[in-house]
Structure 1
Amino acid sequence: MPNYDAHVLSGIVSYPIAVAVAGYLSTIGAPFKLTTIALVIGYALYVLGADLPDMDHPDALIHRGTKPIVSVLTGGAAYINVIDRIHLNPEWLTITAAWGIAIAAALVAWYAFTWLMPKHRGIVHSLLFAFIYGALAFLLVDYGLGMSTGEGLYVGFAAFSGYTLHLLLDREISLI
C-alpha cells in the first residue's frame, strides 16, 4: 500500500489530468468554470484529498494534522458562540471564561476525533466519503467564499477526484 509521500506526490503530479478531464467535460456541457482561483483552490483540495482517506488511521500524518485543526476550529467556534452570552466584570474575566469554555470544547473535539473515527479502511475509504468531501469543497467555494457556482462545481470535482485517486492507489474502492 502506498505511504504518505506516495499519496501526496501522486496528487501533486497528477493534477493536470484532473484539469484536462474537467476541461473536456466543460466542452460537452459540464458547468465547470476554470478560473485561476478555482484552479488553485482545486489543486490544494485535490492534493489534500489524495491523502485524506488515511485520516481514519491514528498513526497517519494526515490524522495527526487534521486532529489539531478540528480541535482549534471547534474551540474557536465555541468562543465565538459564548463570548456574547457571558457578562462578568471586569471584561477580561468574560474573555477568560469564554476561552475556558472554548478550551473545554477543543479538548472534547481532540478526544472525540479519534474516538468517532471508524476503523482504518472503513467507510472513510469509500466513494461516499469522496462525494462528501467534494460536496463540502463545493459548499466552501460557492457559499463560504461567495465564488460562482461553476467555480464551486469545479473545486468540488477536483476534491472528489483527489480523494478518489487515493482509493485507486490503495486498490480498494468501495461505494460505502
Structure 2
Amino acid sequence: MPNYDAHVLSGIVTYPLAVALAGILKEYAGIPFELSSIALILGYALYVLGADLPDMDHPNALLHRGTKPIVAVAVGSAVYLQALHRFSFTEEWLNQTAAWSVGVVGALIGWFGFTWIMPRHRGIVHSLLFAFIYGVLAFLLVEYGLGMSTGEGLYVGFAAFSGYMLHLLLDREISLI
C-alpha cells in the first residue's frame, strides 16, 4: 500500500487531470463549475489534502498525529471561551487562569476522544461515503463559509472529492460505506 509521500505526491502531480476532467464535465455535461483562479487554488489544496485524508484513521499516520493536537487545542480553546466569564475573581489573570484550567480539561477530553471516536483503519473513513462527505463539506466551506459563488463551490467540492477518491484508488480499496 502507498505511504504518506506516495499519496501526497500523487495528489500534487495528478491535479491537472482533475482540472481537465472538470473542464470536460463543464463543457460536455453542463455542470456549472466556475474555474476561477481562487477556486483552482483552493481546489488544489483540498485535492492534495484529500489524497491523504483517508489515512486519518491510522494512529501512526502523520495526518492523524497532526490532526489530534489541532482537535485538542480547538476543543480546549472553545471550553476556555465558555468558561472565561463564569469566574469572578478580583484579578482578571485569575479568571483567565481558572478558565484555561477548565479549557485544559476540555483539551484532554478532545485528545483522548479523538482517538476513541476514530474508526478502525481502512474502515468507514476509507469509503465512497466519506469521499462524498468531504466533497460536500468543501462545497459548503467555499459557498457559505467564504461566500464564493455556487460554481466555485461546486468545483472545489469536486476537487476535494476527486483527491479523496485518488487515495482510495491508490489503496485499491473502495467501499460504499
**TM-score normalised by the chain length of structure 1:** 0.94
After superposition, the Cα gap between the structure-2 partners of 1:86 and 1:140, relative to the gap in structure 1 and judged at 3 Å, is: farther
1:56-107 C-alpha deviation (Å, 9 max, x unpaired): 1101111111111111222222233333444332122222222222221111
Query: Hey, what does 2:171 align to over in structure 1?
Result: 170
Query: Hey, what does 1:75 align to over in structure 2?
Result: 76
Query: Hey, what does 1:124 align to over in structure 2?
Result: 125
Query: Hey, what does 1:12 align to over in structure 2?
Result: 12
After superposition, the Cα gap between the structure-2 partners of 1:148 and 1:81, relative to the gap in structure 1 and judged at 3 Å, is: farther
Amino acid aligned to 1:34: L
CA distance in structure 2 between the aligned counterparts of 1:65 and 1:38, rounded to whole angstroms: 25
Query: Hey, what does 2:38 align to over in structure 1?
Result: 37
Query: Hey, what does 1:88 align to over in structure 2?
Result: 89
Structure 1 residue 173, shift from structure 2 partner: 0.3
After superposition, the Cα gap between the structure-2 partners of 1:87 and 1:134, relative to the gap in structure 1 and judged at 3 Å, is: farther
Correspondences of 1:106-125 after superposition (within 5 Å)? 106-125=107-126
After superposition, the Cα gap between the structure-2 partners of 1:153 and 1:76, relative to the gap in structure 1 and judged at 3 Å, is: farther
Unaligned runs of 5+ in 1: none
Give the alignment's Cα RMSD to 1 decimal.
1.4
**TM-score normalised by the chain length of structure 2:** 0.93
CA distance in structure 2 between the aligned counterparts of 1:159 and 1:76, rounded to whole angstroms: 28
CA distance in structure 2 between the aligned counterparts of 1:147 and 1:120, rounded to whole angstroms: 35
After superposition, the Cα gap between the structure-2 partners of 1:67 and 1:89, relative to the gap in structure 1 and judged at 3 Å, is: same
Unaligned runs of 5+ in 2: none
After superposition, the Cα gap between the structure-2 partners of 1:49 and 1:81, relative to the gap in structure 1 and judged at 3 Å, is: same
Amino acid aligned to 1:91: E
Q: Percent identity?
A: 73
CA distance in structure 2 between the aligned counterparts of 1:155 and 1:80, rounded to whole angstroms: 32
